[in-house]
Structure 1
Amino acid sequence: MNTAAASTGQATPAEKPRWRDILASPKMVAIMVLGAASGFPNQITESALQAWLKDSGASNTTIGVLSYVALPYLFKFLWAPVIDRYPLPWLGRRRGWVALTQLALAAAIAVFALQNPAVSLTPIAICAVAIVFFSATQDIAIDAYRTDVAQPNERGLAAAANNLGYRTSAWLASAFALVVADFFGWEPAFLILAAVMAAFCIGTLLAPEPHYAHQPPRTLTESFVVPLRELLGSPSAIAFIALVILFKVGDAFALRLFTPFMMDVGFSKTEIAVVLKALFTASAVIGAILGGVAMVRLGLLNSMLIFGVAQAASNLLYYALALTGKNYPLMVAAVSIDNIAGAMGNIASVALIMALCDTRYSAFQYALLSAFALTPRYLLGGPAGWLADKAGWDMYYVVSVVLALPGLLLVWLMREQIKQLDQPRG
């Protein structure tokens, strides 16, 4: 898989990226802004939607089932070859698609604002699926842009810059929606979010265009068959795909119903928005920066081992919170430590996916691999809601720790193959 990526002929720079590269480089700033655009719509159909449904009287099981509106995130690889094959006639190979989907997202969120879950959940689900579809398409183009523009030894920092923008923007969107909804209702909250989504087009216009030493695939078939053959052609292909799926499964399960959990523990929507989400985001930003910088020295293998153990163990703090109930010091510790560890794990996961991609087909390959990575997050909503209702939140978080163990074992078993991904490209 990595040998295919090496065919692009990129050389690894001799000097490692430095701390200030994240903020000083126009490339890293662009990655951060586009990461913010990517994260902004995500929490509209997750945290905000969950709170909206909770307000309307929906059960945890119903909320869990409606989490399946996010399934387009899993299937985005199906239309990713179109983005590889057909650049739009403006803003270059990737940014044209980014701008188009941002405008479509703004329109879909505005329509979403006009719905009422107390009347019918069907229009809510349809609008949410549309938002997720456009958001997934935006992610395809942004992920490809980041993969194309980052050099091999910049992967950790590029992932950190993306995570910094993504987490901050996701929190702002979620926090704003919850606070405004608490005081003025959900409709004005979502309408303002729609306007902000449209404003992200400015950042897309200003982002630098990557240098491409190759032409787009000549046919739509080539943009699907050749990158798929490259991904599946190596002896370790299936093992790498399993690793991409399993590495974050425990962390994904733990956070799947974060908002309903905190509401059941006793925190209000405003507390969740202002306190919990602020801690969530600040900790994730710290974790992203620490993870990106640490990867320069640790390398991919050591990062996956250390970060993976940390993100699994940190879920036990939510278990303690479930047992004790509303407790501010424990809540601060749980959210802060878990999200620092989880963000560091995410940096390693993103770097792994970037290392497996060939920039000629990065839209399709990254979309496919990230879809594998997101599979637990978007398929476990139903079982997660059922487990929370039937076994309680304490058992829920014990299960989240157990789910993390297979991924850690696989990292150790594949240590030699993972080391090879850190080798300089020829």
Structure 2
Amino acid sequence: MSGVETRSGERRDLASPAAVVVAVGGLYVGQSVIGGMTFMALPSVLREQGLPLDHIGLTYLAVLPWVLKFLWAPAVERYRSPPTGYSRSRSIVLVGGLLSALGLAATGLAGLGNLVVLIGIFVLIAFAAATVDIACDGHAVEALSERHHGWGNAAQVGGAYLGAAIGSGLFLVLVERSGWRSASLAMAALLLVLALPFLMAAPAVSAGSSTRAPSLKEALGRRDMRAGLLLAAVFVTTQKWGVSMLGPFLVDAGLDLGSLGLVNGLGGLAVGFGCALLGGALVRLWGARRVMVLALVLQALALAGLAFAALRGLPQSWLVACALASSSGIMALGFVALYARFMALADPRQAGVDFTLLQCMDALVSMAGGVGAGWIAQRWGYGTCFALAAGLAVVAVPAVAVLSRPAAAVRPVP
């Protein structure tokens, strides 16, 4: 254990950074398993079942709890971090993890026959997972000293791509071989396993005393947080809107669910995790601003390639390579930089609230883009959908460059 001084001047004992990263990393993987199933695997399965794209786009309504979790984040943070004593992060993770696992089991039992019921269950799962995420983010910022925040960020991004590879890759392979019910039950069991490192080994960090309760008003009153929210909205729009229809597009291009699962799983993990490591190195060398601008330029090129493929056609191998570059490599590169900024913006005295607020903007833009992309693709085709997204990425370059200038960066709260 080592001591670190917080902004309020207290000394707090911390576990080793490796122990914290392993503990929170398991939770981040589990949350992304749910995300991969909901937003990548499920649209592909529904498309194979013959559902129209505008109906498939409705699955993005399951993002709603991630959009609204800022409403209950202050209450969760007050419960998690009491004025005296120890953090209650473990109890939040235990209850939320059990509810998420039970929800995934329920999706398997419900089957694919009723889209409304299925989306409703995934919304409830997202509510439980989003609540766990509030506690997990707060714990990571609280338990890691500032010089180790990069490791926490690596756990977030790396865990996200590992979880997405499982949820969108392994899950689709299991659906192809064993059916929807067995695959869903397997993912429910996996969630429980992934939570064990946190429940068994995560240290109970002393919350210490505080002169004020965590609040949204305090977060929104800071200029750096408002700039961060706008940056998140612009950057996520350009990175996620175009890729939300990639699964259905690849299914319509002739990939079966098993092949798509291998592409999303092995390919997505290798490309995404590798680019996450590259992004971390580039952020250290160049700073977050340059890395985010680079990611926007590369995403515009990749989406333009997908638009060309949709309109004129490309060999399937080239199509898969372009899709992997866009959805895994470039997004990993850019989101390492964006989440590094998020972690820097979060005040340790209310880390769960601040980080949650920034993530809610991410989720809000993602949900709007998923529903809107399905509507556009259904009416005007994949080519138009990808071309519009590429244009947005180009337009966003100067905006992101301005919003991520050093002058707009976080300033410590006095």
Range class of TM-score, shorter chain: 0.7 to 0.9
Q: Does 1:117 align with 2:89?
A: no
1:386 maps to 375
2:30 maps to 37
Separation of aligned partners in 1, 2:163 and 2:267: 14
Residue of structure 2 aligned with 1:69, choices 50, 62, 70: 62
Residue of structure 2 aligned with 1:139, choices 112, 118, 133: 133
**Alpha carbons of 1:182 and 1:252: their partners in 2 closer, same or farther (altered >3 Å)?**
same
The residue identity in structure 2 corresponding to 1:76 is K
1:156–1:293 Cα contact (<8 Å) kept: no
Q: Does 1:375 align with 2:368?
A: no
CA displacement at 1:217 relative to structure 2: 7.4
2:292 maps to 304
1:396 maps to 385
Residue of structure 2 aligned with 1:46, choices 39, 44, 47: 39
- TM-score normalised to structure 2 length: 0.88
1:95 maps to 90
2:218 maps to 230
2:162 maps to 168
CA displacement at 1:9 relative to structure 2: 5.3
2:253 maps to 265
The residue identity in structure 1 corresponding to 2:353 is F
1:15 maps to none
2:64–2:363 Cα contact (<8 Å) kept: no
CA displacement at 1:311 relative to structure 2: 3.1
The residue identity in structure 2 corresponding to 1:402 is G
**Alpha carbons of 1:172 and 1:276: their partners in 2 closer, same or farther (altered >3 Å)?**
closer
Cα deviation, 1:369-411, whole Å, max 9, x if unaligned, reads 1101222211122221111112211121111122224542223
The residue identity in structure 2 corresponding to 1:280 is G
The residue identity in structure 2 corresponding to 1:268 is D
Q: How does 1:26-425 map to 2 (within 5 A)?
A: 26-87=19-80, 92-118=87-113, 120-209=114-203, 211-212=205-206, 214-215=208-209, 222-224=213-215, 228-235=216-223, 237-325=225-313, 327-338=315-326, 339-418=328-407, 420-421=409-410
Separation of aligned partners in 1, 2:280 and 2:191: 27
Separation of aligned partners in 1, 2:111 and 2:42: 12
Structure 1 SS opposite 2:208: coil
Separation of aligned partners in 2, 1:261 and 1:85: 44
The residue identity in structure 2 corresponding to 1:187 is R
CA displacement at 1:73 relative to structure 2: 0.9
CA displacement at 1:321 relative to structure 2: 2.9
CA displacement at 1:207 relative to structure 2: 4.0
Separation of aligned partners in 2, 1:298 and 1:405: 21
Separation of aligned partners in 1, 2:191 and 2:235: 31
CA displacement at 1:216 relative to structure 2: 6.2
How big is the alpha-carbon RMSD for the aligned residues of Structure 1 and Structure 2?
2.9
The residue identity in structure 2 corresponding to 1:223 is P
The residue identity in structure 2 corresponding to 1:162 is Q
CA displacement at 1:108 relative to structure 2: 0.9
CA displacement at 1:304 relative to structure 2: 2.6
Cα deviation, 1:13-55, whole Å, max 9, x if unaligned, reads xxxxxxxxx9x83333334223212212112222232133224
**Alpha carbons of 1:113 and 1:215: their partners in 2 closer, same or farther (altered >3 Å)?**
farther
1:256–1:381 Cα contact (<8 Å) kept: yes
Which structure 2 segments of 5+ residues have no match?
1-5
Identical-residue share of aligned pairs (%): 26
CA displacement at 1:419 relative to structure 2: 6.6
Which structure 1 segments of 5+ residues have no match?
1-5, 12-21
1:311–1:345 Cα contact (<8 Å) kept: no
1:276–1:335 Cα contact (<8 Å) kept: no
Stretch moving more, 313-322 or 358-367:
313-322
Structure 1 SS opposite 2:241: helix
Separation of aligned partners in 1, 2:209 and 2:51: 50
1:104–1:134 Cα contact (<8 Å) kept: yes
1:301–1:418 Cα contact (<8 Å) kept: no
